[in-house]
Structure 1
Amino acid sequence: MDQLMAMRAFTRVVETGNFTRAADSLNLPNATLSKLVKSLEAHLGVRLLHRTTRRVVATPEGQDYYEKASRVLIDIEEIDTSFSASQRRPKGYLRIDIGGSTAREVLIPALPDFLKRYPEIKIDLGVSDRPVDLISGNVDCVIRGGPLNDSSLIARHIGDATMVTCATPGYLKAAGVPAYPDELRNGHKLVSYLSPLTGRAFPFRFIIEGEMRELKTQHHIGVNESNAHLAAAVAGMGIIQTFCYAAKDALKDGTLVEILQAWRPASYPFHVVYPQNRHMTHRLRVFIDWLTEIFPTALRG
């Protein structure tokens, strides 16, 4: 038995909860991965995994072994990386997940620069506003805005996005231009962004008398995808609050007009997030370093 490979196979099964996904992520046949795990269980003399028709989960002994084995594998990979990273170019696939408007306006326009610097890295880009499970989805990192709630993940701040409140000239001509944030309560139609996780509308936020305040009011239309959210405002459906980088072209050509600029909300933080129990590869390290270089300016629009 190749014990090191068996440990890798077992930890990946625990992380993905599935033999097929684990085998795919390690580029192994299913039968080979299953044999490695069974050999490891025989070697240790304990049952490490409990198999059901839907999912594979670690037994109590398996969870204990997973935590110890993960630390060993990380240490080994860090030793290898420390000796080899300076002598080789990063290569291989990076699996990245990012929201729709951030992909369209920030990441994708800049990616040619990254791929020119690191031509041996290939990108698999998942574009969605919905949350993604980095472990079971075998994703290297996620780029997201807003607060972070999962303590099992490592986050690195990569910039802050400017927020704007805007609407089409046609809408403002018909409904009037609000002079103060509270006027949004007086019959204005709001285009709200709905949380893909909870389905709840994000409130409009403003800095009023030096404090961040949330304006809770009924929206006219709610959308849970960032590109479609902007499109609804461009179609004249009402007032939107969004990222400046997402609306910059529409603001520049006059399709949208910024309002309530004196009460712009505070900048919105963005992070790149990755699992703490997974080794950071050389390719992921250079990608994150690149993000911290280009995102701060791009996010301001």
Structure 2
Amino acid sequence: MIRLGLTSFNEHDTLTGKKRSTLYEYAGYLPFVEMDTAYYGIPRQESVTEWTKSVPDNFRFVMKVYSGISCQGEWQQYYQNEQEMVTAFLTSMQPMIESGKLYAFLVQFSGTFSCTKENVQYLEKIRHWFADYPLAIELRNGSWYAEKYLKQTLSFMKKNEFSLVIVDEPQIPTNPVPFFPFVTNEQFVLFRLHGRNAAGWMANDKDWRKKRTLYRYNVDEIADLSEAVEKIAGSAKEVGVIFNNNSGGDAAGNLLEMKAALGIEYDQLNPKQIDLF
């Protein structure tokens, strides 16, 4: 099955026709979403329970892990040690795990997380922490894809049953991460499409969040990406595609274009509210 989804559920008026939508409303259009809430702070278990109750049985979540787990947050001020941090995160996520609606935990590393012995060992530690849970690993440092390391990178990902995220992002000269459609876990694959705005991707001013994913894929780019998704779908049980290019509100429109290109129609969605007039 190919699942198309968006990052967050509440800001896609092109999809729902509303400036701010609830998760229930979003789930009337798509069976898939990426939630980044826990990256900034581990949510209450009650909130996770409400998320799972708001969507139908066939709906799936990509949950980005807490920033401290992906080496990007100052977790020490909140937790005594790494194990306490991970336990807090997994305790929070139990309702989603038990509901069967978890597609994968997403561990998105920063561009400084390079291919080193120490970082390989840290990935092994993550696999130990998240034993038996589906893990999607997004690497934003091009060294993992360098010719001298690529074979070992793919072998390591397969051995640990990580799904190496297939990323489409700007090809900046200092640290290019290629679009590399390859299956490292046949159970599930995750595409994340960030757009191709190189200048915005490297922005470091106060408005960087408004620029980083400011991009709309054109017709030819959507066609090429759709072809790659369809090809990968022949080698994996589940394929998830997240459009993250929403700084300018373009993600939902591009998703609908890919949905049409792939001829996808979803059922088992939440009922949509019908206006009387």
Query: Normalising TM by the smaller chain, what interval?
Result: under 0.3
Alignment TM-score, normalising by the size of structure 1:
0.20
Alignment TM-score, normalising by the size of structure 2:
0.21
Q: More helix by proportion, 1 or 2?
A: 1
Could you say which structure has the larger radius of gyration?
A: 1
Q: More strand by proportion, 1 or 2?
A: 1
